[in-house]
Amino acid sequence: MKTAAHISLSGDRPNRWGYLSGNIQDQVDLVQLLSSKASNDDIDELNQALDNILDSLENLSDEIGSKASAASVIQALSTKADLVNGVVPASQLPAFVDDVLNGKLICDVIFEDENENIYSPESGKIYIDVDTNKSYRWSGIKYVVISDSLALGETASTAGRGDYVKAAHDHALSQGNPHNVTTSEITETNNVRFFKENLVRATVLTGIVFTNKNKATAADSIETAIGKIQGQLDDFSVPIWVNVTTLGVVFSSYVNQSESKIELQKRNGNIYMRGYIRLAQQASGSGIEYLRYTSQDYALDTSYAINIGYTMAIFNICSGSTLNNATTISSDNIGTHLIKSSGIVVASGTVWHIPEVCIGKAKT
């Protein structure tokens, strides 16, 4: 007799009868096989329970999936960055985003932000000094310069803007007067003066004084010096030589009047005489009068030498190329103001030259 291992049930559903396969040799085999098959009701009931379990498992899986998704969203929300006035705070930014900090280097170990708050030094950050445009990093013990390269600026440690530098360079090389500046537009100091000839000539001597008659010095301004000079000129009359023919002079017959000239000058309270006399005829004897004038404008003060004549000069009397003996001429100051000789014989045509000589004190 065969065992149940040699007999099997087949069909499209395990809860339905199919066909029998195997070797059924006798009734015992059939009974044994049939006794091992459950009833249809039991099988349906088991299938329904299994379907319910599968549905429960599917619902549980959906619920677990929903809960997992919610947890993920909550986790994501917990790590999001919040906005403050529309801006993400630096505290919620990744470190690499906020690696560059602006402020001022106070000393090797202190770097302040732009609100004068001290930064906590971090080795992974770059600190930029807004005053010098230099970049620093924290070495662990102090702030050190990352690069000494020049930054743009207008200080000794910065570089100028290229366009500005070029403009300044071109201007420095320009010829002439690009701004058309005149010296009158330049501020002057005591040591710096800018003159133009037309301006100097047109300068008005406002406030000049002519009463100062002192000598001008190198320390005087031009205006003061001119005032002093004019004051001296006003106080000093230029002496004028006056021909005696304008003073009512009377020549004697011994004088060739057309070839003679006598001039007088009043200077510093004295009377001066100069000129020459040519004789028209031979003169001999002492006291021969040659000229007389009576003008009171050039009168001598006789109170100084009454009845005494002024000897004016000693002359060599020339006749042709021959030198004769010396003689003198003198001026009588007793009111007649004569010019007369000392009395030796003098030939006709003789010329007496009278150099400038003081003949006495002026009366007025």
Write out pLDDT tens, residues 34-86. 555 555 566 677 777 777 777 777 777 667 666 666 666 566 666 666 777 76
Residues 6+ away with beta carbon under 8 Å from 252: 288, 289, 290, 291, 292
Tens of pLDDT, residue by residue over 94-150, are 655 558 889 999 999 999 999 999 999 998 899 999 988 888 999 999 999 986 656
Per-residue pLDDT at 76? 63
Residue with the bigger pLDDT between 291 and 62: it is 291
- Above 60 in pLDDT, residue 309? no
In DSSP notation, 152-204 reads ESSSTTEEPPHHHHHHHHHHHH--S-TT---GGGSPP-SS-----HHHHHT--
Ordered structural domains, the chain, with CATH = 4-37 (no CATH), 90-152 (no CATH), 242-361 (2.60.40)
165 versus 190: the higher-pLDDT residue is: 165
Under the banding of pLDDT at 50, 70 and 90, the label for residue 241 is very high
Question: pLDDT band at 326, cuts 50/70/90?
Answer: very low
Query: How many residues appear in the chain?
Result: 364
Which range among 24-28, 75-79, 108-112, 354-358 shows the weakest confidence by mean pLDDT? Answer: 24-28
Instruction: Indicate the pTM of the whole model.
Output: 0.36
Residue 245 scores a pLDDT above 70? yes
**pLDDT for residue 33 is more than 60:** no
pLDDT value for 6: 45
Residue 246 tokens read as: 């304008």
Helix, strand or coil, per DSSP, at residue 97: coil
pLDDT at 248 over 50: yes
CB environment 79-93: b (16+ within 10 A), e (fewer): eeeeeeeeeeeeeee
157-176 pLDDT tens trace = 677 777 888 888 888 787 77
For residue 335, the model assigns a pLDDT of 52
